[in-house]
Amino acid sequence: MSIVGLVDAGGANLGSVRFALERLGVDVRMVRAAGDLDGVQRVILPGVGAAAAGMARLHAQGLVQPLRELQVPLMGICLGMQLLYERSEEGGVDCLGLLPGVVRRLHPAVGIRVPHMGWNKLLALRPSPLLDGVPPGASTYFVHSYAAPVTADTVAACHHGGLFTAVVQRGALCGAQFHPERSAGPGARILRNFIETDFQ
What's the pLDDT at 77?
Answer: 96
Residues forming beta bridges with residue 120, ordered by sequence position: 140
Average pLDDT over residues 174-195: 96
Longest CA span, the chain = 50
What's the pLDDT at 4?
Answer: 97
Q: What residues are annotated to the active site?
A: 78, 179, 181
- Over the stretch 32-88, which tens digit does the pLDDT of each residue have? 999 999 999 999 999 888 999 999 999 999 999 999 999 999 999 999 999 999 999
C-alpha closest to that of 174 among 128, 136, 109, 127 = 128
- Over the stretch 2-40, which tens digit does the pLDDT of each residue have? 799 999 977 767 889 999 999 999 999 999 999 999 999
Residue 20 CB neighbours (<10 A):
24
Helix (H, G, I), strand (E, B) or coil at 1: coil
Q: Which domains does the chain have, with CATH numbers?
A: 3-196 (3.40.50.880)
- Separation of CA 111 from chain center: 26
CA distance 117 to 148: 16
Answer left, alpha or beta for residue 194, where phi above 0 means left and psi between -120 and 50 means alpha.
Answer: alpha
Confidence grade of residue 109 (pLDDT, cut at 50, 70, 90):
confident
What's the pLDDT at 140?
Answer: 98
C-alpha closest to that of 159 among 180, 142, 179, 182 = 142
Number of residues written out for the chain: 200
